[in-house]
Amino acid sequence: MITHKKLPNGFEYIEVKNGVAEAKIALQGAHLFHYARVGKEPILWLSEVSDFEKGKAIRGGVPICWPWFGFNKDKALPQHGFARISMWEFVCSNELDEKTTVLTFKLTNSEKTLQIWHYKFELELRITISDKLTMELKTTNRDEKEFKITQALHTYFAVSHISDVVILGLDKKPYLDALTYKNEEQEGDITFSEEVDRVYQDVDDEIVLRDKNREIHIKNQGSSSVVVWNPWIEKTKRMSAMQENAYEYMLCIESANAFDDARAIKSQESHSLKAVIC
């Protein structure tokens, strides 16, 4: 069942329920902010004090960072691009069976986007809600010239407590430490006892988030970079729409095309970034 809903302030979202899972997707940013299997705890973390207002990014869920990841060289431009705060078109939904619902959203260039990013494009997000969560972000170059993008499905995962978490699958992988801007190599599995902000490269295997009571498996396609982030104590205090202890119950594992994994897309060609979470 698919229901179109509005918050009292007019903020629009779509609620999906089928035989195995439920989800909520905002039209602003095509932002998936809730996904849970029936009878299970949510997989995605959402800040209890997140903004649901026009022009403000939702804190949690899966923001879409596009057409650049992180800060632009022009500091006047929005961090992580404009896709996550743009209004998307809800194209269609398809209930394949009682356990599988597919939703498609689209964003295209406008006068406003052309002022800050001088290319014509078509961006399509296909979200499949089943016992797995599948997100596929397809970029098509509708311009006459090539362009380059960096991007991420900036997934916030809910965890029982950050001290109980281990990330497997990135051992021996090179990464840029965004806190020191040094290139490092991962030694062993990842645990958390301080702020972590890393962009891993050459990632070609499944990533496993092992929590106290469950495991979450992440498999990416069209990507060889993964971002791992937890803001820890001091940064959380400085961030918008986050309670002071929020870092204890979330972390981000982001399916990305970032830094060395940037993608050049020729005129009329496409690139797809896909993440399967189960």
Active site residues: 154, 254
- Bridge-based pairing state of the strands 166-168 and 12-17: unpaired
| Neighbouring residues of 99: CB distance < 8 A, sequence distance ≥ 6 | 18, 19, 20, 130, 131
In Å, how far from its chain's centre is CA 207?
Answer: 15
* Alpha-carbon torsion (137, 135, 221, 194), positive or negative: positive
Q: Cβ(102)–Cβ(96) under 8 Å? A: yes
Q: Cβ(67)–Cβ(148) under 8 Å? A: no
Question: Tokens representing 74?
Answer: 């022009």
User: How crowded is residue 270: how many other Cβ atoms within 10 Å of its Cβ?
Assistant: 12
* C-alpha span between 252 and 229 (Å, rounded): 5
Which residue reads 């699958």 in tokens? 169
Preceding omega of 231 cis (within 30 degrees of 0): no
Residue 154: Cβ-neighbour burial (10 angstroms; 0-12, 13-18, 19+): buried
User: How crowded is residue 141: how many other Cβ atoms within 10 Å of its Cβ?
Assistant: 21
Q: Report the length, in residues, of the chain.
A: 278
Measuring CA to CA, which residue among 145, 205, 200 is closest to residue 169?
205
